[in-house]
Structure 1
Amino acid sequence: IIGMVTEKIESKERLFMKIEDLEATATVLVPSNLSKEIIEKAHSILLDQVVCINAIKGNNDLIVAKDFILPDIPQKSSRKAEVPVYAALMSDIHVGSNKFMEKEFNRFLGWLKGERGNDKVRNIASHIKYLVIAGDIVDGIGIYPGQLEELTITDIYEQYREAAKLLEQVPDYIEIIVIPGNHDATRKALPQPALPKDYAEPLTETRKIYSLGNPSTISLHGVELLLFHGRSLDDVAAVAPNVSFDTPDKSMKLLLQGRHLAPIYGERTPIAPEKRDFMVIDRTPDIFHAGHVHIMKCNRYRGTLIVNSGAWQEQTDFQQRMGLTPTPGIVPIVNLQTSNLSVIDFTQPW
């Protein structure tokens, strides 16, 4: 049977699920005598996720599960560029915050221009063709209570002008692609359109910048990237077992398995009522790039490279209260010809 999970109930050592389709509802029992792998898979299934269940009919209209089949992405070999070009992946710059790591970001810019680092890292910089930014370019205004006290720039237009001053220092031969995040000046509900012209104009006045929506799929030298800011990672980390804010790569893996970028409805992630569900992962990406949680993590799943690109903001008071220790100032660099990943730490003086 195929249905959407509407409720999960744990009773002693058993797990019950309620599922529905357009015509009916059913209760599914996950018995404790199933293999550990299947039981763990059942517990990792998220609310509002569509699953296929291999089951038998029990008593009183109860369905007894034998296994769960997720939409999942297929195992594949990732596409490769024909030439040795690299992409630098980043997110959560948070220009305007008093925690923005300006010194470290300028160190990154100096490295891009070939002015910093040893021969090895300068060689990497010389091959970078793309800079991909997965949202939260600025810190925004009024995003959370008390934010004004943590801002050095309290005007949203001025925040984008300051961000433009930084990005215009990126060498002209490097193409910049940006999508918005929940701190940026666009609607908060997913999917988010590209930055409005009024705010994006300072970014595009001095150089070419490709401003896209969140999420977006792009192709760089034939390598397909799925870009997503990652707001829904909060919801996944809050409910999925063996997943936390410190392991965004595991949360992103669950999104790939469910082939949906925001599977849980009604929690922290606002979702717009569009006629088409733009959060479905139709195509299998070669690289899945997100941010939002300020933790740099990389992994591979079924041939897809998973990258959460960390941040350029030191630990905030809110993160400290939540017990979250970010890993800012660390940039993952992908060789699009080999799919190999290099990680460069700009928090250390060179």
Structure 2
Amino acid sequence: FLTQFSENKVRVIKNLVKIPREIKTEQFIKFFQDKYKKMQKIFLRRTKFNFVSLNKLGKERKEVYIFGIVKNIKEKADKKIVEIEDMTTSVKVEFSLNVKNIDNLMLDEAIVVRGISAGEYLFGKEIIYPDIPLRPPTKGQERVCFISDLHLDETPPSDIKKFFDWFKTQKIPYLLVAGDVSDKESFINYVKDLGSKVFLIPGEKDDSSYPALGIKLKEGLKNVISLSNPAMIEINGVKILMIHKFNLDMLKKRYLGQSKLILNEDSLVLDVVPDIVHCGHTHEPEVQNYKSATIVNSGSPLSDFKPVVINLADRSVEQIRL
């Protein structure tokens, strides 16, 4: 991710702007190493454990903490054998099926394991994710409106017009759109004359790759900023993660899903903690709080649509019924 745009009170923190045309062997290694180092740094900030390198595990039976990337998962009878890799070697860890988090463990994710070292095997007792910290909500100024899943190729124009007629009366300086506009030309016609700054990311209907580059828009649209999926911006000190498809595990694991691309760096590591997560995809309006983060989904005009307005000054949230 690269910082691409900065203006007054708004800063783009994360935005994928380039995808390599050719993938070479060394890029796979570089991609793994980048993810490993970023996630290790997050764990070191979030925990106080002394990690043992996997090549330093001895035959002496003792409790250890290890950090690594999940390389393989196999289930055998009443246990799971998980192969974990660090920068030195890999080791097999045996977990009973009642260990917390074992069921939602996925390949290629970074974890810390508390276990009992015993020769070639490690007996896992606990799977630890870095999670986000509990802290006072960050506040700023101005109001922001959040919408997604407009599906302009399917939604009746009267329903879309109803929203934009309402929006124009509100004098809200920022409009954030979390993907699946589907018809970019129609979208441009709706937003080009707004007096608000518009931030747009693609959804699966716009671009099925993940992460995905921003939607290409015609030049001259000074009020519309097209960003990647996912992306992160900061408005008056409040950090906002824009991501089309989201689940809470992404905050707990500090990782934004499995990449379909091999890049020069792993852009899905959540090394910056968001204050607000703006998502879509489900077509179901929802607002929830997790620790210090507010998670918002406006739903879709195709089902149930409730645009969300957040006042950054007090972090109050309003779901609008049009």
TM-score if structure 2 supplies the norm length? 0.72
Match of 1:6 in 2: 71
Q: Distance in 2 between matches of 1:51 and 1:194?
A: 30
Conservation of the 8 A alpha-carbon contact between 1:104 and 1:329: no
Q: Distance in 2 between matches of 1:137 and 1:27?
A: 45
Match of 1:330 in 2: 306
Match of 2:159 in 1: 104
Q: Map of 1:1-350 to 2, 5 A cutoff?
A: 1-31=66-96, 39-58=99-118, 61-81=120-140, 83=141, 85-97=142-154, 100-114=155-169, 125-126=170-171, 128-138=172-182, 159-168=183-192, 170=194, 172=195, 174-184=196-206, 188-196=208-216, 200-201=217-218, 204-205=220-221, 208-230=223-245, 233=246, 251=247, 253-262=248-257, 264=258, 271-312=260-301, 314=302, 327-346=303-322
Shift of 1:304: 1.0
Runs of 4+ in 1 over 6 A off after TM superposition: none
Q: Distance in 1 between matches of 2:187 and 2:264?
A: 34
Greater helix percent: which structure? 1
Shift of 1:12: 4.5
**Structure 1 residues 258, 339: closer, same or farther in 2, change over 3 A?**
same
Q: Distance in 1 between matches of 2:311 and 2:146?
A: 11
Q: Distance in 2 between matches of 1:48 and 1:296?
A: 31
Long gaps (5+) in structure 1: 115-124, 139-158, 234-250, 266-270, 315-326
Please give the root-mean-square deviation of Cα atoms over the aligned residues, in Å. 2.3
Greater strand percent: which structure? 2
Q: Distance in 2 between matches of 1:131 and 1:165?
A: 15
Q: Deviations over 1:267-303 (max 9, x none)?
A: xxxx221111111111001011122232322222220
Q: How many residues align?
A: 257
Q: Distance in 2 between matches of 1:7 and 1:53?
A: 15
Shift of 1:101: 4.0
Conservation of the 8 A alpha-carbon contact between 2:311 and 2:317: yes
Question: Aligned with 1:189: secondary structure?
Answer: coil
